[in-house]
Structures are given as C-alpha cells and as structure tokens.
C-alpha cells in the first residue's frame, strides 16, 4: 500500500474532525465513474466538516488521484488481502466508518471491514446480492436493481437516482431557466471516461455526416482508450466544428449550453437530466441499456441501442426529433424533475448519522 500525501496523513492524525474513509476502484473495463463519485463525495465531506481519507486501486488514472483534496492511498487491488490491509490501516488512523464504491462488493469483503469494528455504507448500482453492510445507497433509477438480502438486522436501503453524487455546480445549472429555440445547433458527445467499445468515433462520424453544420463537443476522460484513433479521425474532418474536451472537472456548464447530448447511459445520463439537456443513449453494457430505458419511461431521453451498432439514419432521426424546441423543453422539465443534483448531500447526511452513531436517520 502506498500513500500519495504523507503530510496530509500526519495532519489527519492530529485533526479533531470526524473521520470518514472512502474506497473506490477504476479500470479499463469498468471505467472511472466509481472514483469520480468518490472524488465528489470526498470534496463535499471536507467542506462539510468531515475529514476524508481515500483508498483507490493501482489502475486509477493518476490525473484523477491528483484531484483529491485529502490523503489518498493506493492498493494493488481490492481483494481480501487488500481489504484487510485497508481495514487495519483505518483502525490505526482511528477511523470508524467507511463508504465503499466498488464494482462488485460482496459480503466477504464487508465481513472483513466489520471484523475491524467499522461501520460500512456501500454505494452499489447492481443489486441482486446479499450484503451485510449497514447501509446500501443505490443511485440507479432501475427499480429491479434495488433488490438485496442481508444478515445485518440494522440494514437499510436508500435507492433512487436522487442519491447520485454530482458536482456542486449541477445545483446551479439545475436551478437556471432553459430556453429552447430553433433547431439543434450544438451537441455534446460524452461516452464515459474510458469508452471501452470505441462508440465515440462511430457516433461523431455519424453526427458530422448527417449534420455537417452541427457544433459538436466531444468529451473524453482520463482513461479514454482510443486517443490515437480519435486524433486520426479529427484530421479527416479539418472543416468540422468539433471541439475536444479532456479531463474537465465538471461537465455541468458544457451540458447546460448544448441542445442535446449523447451518452452511454451511466452517470452522464443523470448529469444531462440535471442540466435539462435531452439525452440520446447509445449504451455499452446491459445495465446502461436498462438505465436509458428507465429514464425514457419517465419522459427523459431516447435509448437508441448499442453505441457501436447505432446507424447514421438513427442518429439523423434522433437529432431531428429534438429539432422541435417544444420537445426539448418537455424533456428538460422531465429530466430536472428526476435529478436535482443533491445526491452527495443525501449520502453525506447518512454518513454523518453513522459517524454520530445516530440510528434514527431517515433516507
């Protein structure tokens, strides 16, 4: 286990503030969303009077690690040995509560944490599993993913997209009035921090072919897997109105300025909803398809199909559908009604109740 900020660790040990640990993982396969969520929570925890300490795995992009405003420890992986080492380090630091955000947390890992007398809050979007933690926060809008069993008699579930942690500036764009006039002129394409399947280039080509006058903003994250291909693609479109954005701290302002947004259907879908920007979902994984369809059933966005298989005619028709400003306005209202951008506060309220040993908190 290595530490990024030893001086911060020393300051932490002398701090009178309540301590809260966070675990998050990233990889080329699962992306960087889990770490970004914890980055949001750690920053808000610090400004809310808590003292956060973070553990991430070795595959986490350094650009993300550098953005944490608190001590960060790096472990090779979150296997049993890694969890046991983290739990021991937490107790050495005098910590009592931990928030996990791992792709596949299980009760064996939770048992290790609780053997060290730690309270455990798990952020999980999959459901359908047995977890002996104290609290599960599931920010998915898909109710079928909210099913859990537990041997912990104090187990609580807090579920729904209102628990998704977003950057503070989403509050601002959520509160702002949106005016929708004329045809779609400005679009954003944000297919996740990694884009494992390379849908970004497929969709960008379709958009620029079908709507050559479109102003297109392409967002890539710290772990984006197709930099060389994207660079080569840009060279083939020298006259295109294409702007590349990399490693933005938040997408709130950009989203609020665009008429429509393309997304794989993960957290970015909820961010678009919060900003009131109609979404077109070209999913990568089955759970993203489920989320895209869940938002669509609630009046926000359209689910087009797998990102690598979406055809140009679909892209043309989808953007054309949102050319109607009244349609964009309707989706804007529906999205903002679903996501208010205050998920981080809700999670930290729960964590604060755990820190104070208050068993009466309400989700």
Centroid of chain to Cα 57: 17
Does CATH place domain 2-165+342-355 in 3.40.50.11190?
A: yes
Q: Which of 15-19, 53-57, 206-210, 320-324 has the lowest mean pLDDT?
A: 15-19
CB contact at 8 A, 245 and 225: no
Task: Considering the chain, tell me which residue range(s) the CATH 3.40.50.11190 domain(s) occupy.
Answer: 2-165+342-355
**Cβ-proximal residues to 31 (8 Å cutoff; 6+ apart), any chain:** 192, 193, 194, 196, 221, 223, 266
How much is the average pLDDT of 76-95? 93
- Distances in Å between the Cα of 95 and the Cα atoms of 16, 40, 47, 155 are 12, 20, 18, 21
pLDDT digits (tens, 9 = 90+) for 121-168: 999 998 999 999 999 999 999 999 999 999 999 999 999 999 999 999
Q: What is the pLDDT of residue 195?
A: 82
Retrieve residue 45's tokens: 């925890």
How much is the average pLDDT of 239-260? 91
Q: What is the pLDDT of residue 355?
A: 66
270 three-class SS: helix
For residue 360, pLDDT beyond 60: no
Q: What is the pLDDT of residue 234?
A: 87
Q: What is the pLDDT of residue 2?
A: 63
CATH topology of domain 169-338: Rossmann fold (3.40.50)
Q: What is the pLDDT of residue 44?
A: 94
For residue 15, pLDDT beyond 70: no
For residue 238, pLDDT beyond 90: no
295: left (phi over 0), alpha (psi -120 to 50) or beta: alpha
How much is the mean pLDDT over the chain?
Answer: 90
For residue 5, pLDDT beyond 60: no
Task: Considering the chain, tell me which residue range(s) the CATH 3.40.50.2000 domain(s) occupy.
Answer: 169-338
Q: What is the pLDDT of residue 194?
A: 80
For residue 16, pLDDT beyond 70: no
For residue 59, pLDDT beyond 80: yes
CB contact at 8 A, 233 and 257: no
Give the C-alpha separation, 322 to 304, whole Å.
Answer: 14
- Candidates 79, 56, 61, 40; CA nearest to 2 is 56
φ/ψ of residue 52, rounded to 5: -85, 145
Q: What is the pLDDT of residue 128?
A: 94
């Amino acid at each position: 286990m290595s530490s990024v900020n030893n001086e911060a660790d020393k300051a932490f040990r002398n701090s009178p503030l309540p301590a809260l640990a966070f675990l998050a993982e990233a990889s080329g396969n699962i992306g960087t969303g889990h770490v970004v969520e914890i980055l949001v929570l750690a920053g808000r925890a610090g400004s809310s009077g808590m003292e956060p300490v973070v553990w991430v795995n070795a595959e986490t992009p350094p650009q993300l690690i550098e953005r944490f405003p608190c001590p960060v420890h790096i472990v090779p992986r979150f296997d049993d040995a890694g969890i046991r080492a983290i739990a021991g380090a937490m107790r050495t630091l005098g910590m009592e509560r931990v928030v996990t955000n791992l792709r596949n947390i299980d009760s064996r890992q939770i048992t290790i944490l609780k053997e060290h007398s730690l309270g455990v809050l798990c952020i999980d979007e999959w459901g359908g599993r047995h977890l002996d933690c104290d609290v599960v926060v599931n920010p998915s809008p898909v109710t079928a993913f909210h099913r859990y069993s537990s041997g912990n008699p104090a187990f609580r579930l807090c579920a729904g997209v209102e628990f998704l942690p977003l950057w503070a500036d989403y509050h601002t764009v959520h509160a702002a009035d949106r005016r929708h006039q004329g045809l779609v002129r400005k679009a954003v394409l944000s297919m996740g921090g990694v884009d494992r399947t390379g849908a970004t280039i497929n969709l960008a080509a379709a958009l620029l072919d079908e709507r050559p006058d479109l102003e297109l903003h392409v967002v890539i994250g710290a772990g984006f897997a197709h930099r060389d291909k994207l660079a080569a693609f840009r060279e083939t479109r020298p006259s295109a109105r294409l702007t590349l954005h990399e490693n933005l701290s938040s997408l709130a302002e950009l989203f609020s300025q665009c008429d429509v947004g393309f997304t794989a259907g993960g957290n970015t879908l909820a961010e678009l909803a919060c900003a009131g920007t109609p979404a077109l979902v070209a999913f990568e994984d089955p759970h993203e398809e489920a989320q895209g369809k869940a938002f669509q059933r609630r009046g926000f966005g359209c689910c087009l199909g797998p990102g690598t298989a979406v055809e140009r005619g679909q892209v043309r028709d989808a953007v054309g559908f949102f050319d109607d400003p009244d349609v964009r306005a309707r989706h804007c209202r529906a999205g903002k009604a679903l996501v208010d951008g205050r998920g981080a506060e809700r999670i930290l309220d729960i964590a604060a109740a755990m820190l104070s040993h208050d068993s009466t908190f309400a989700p």
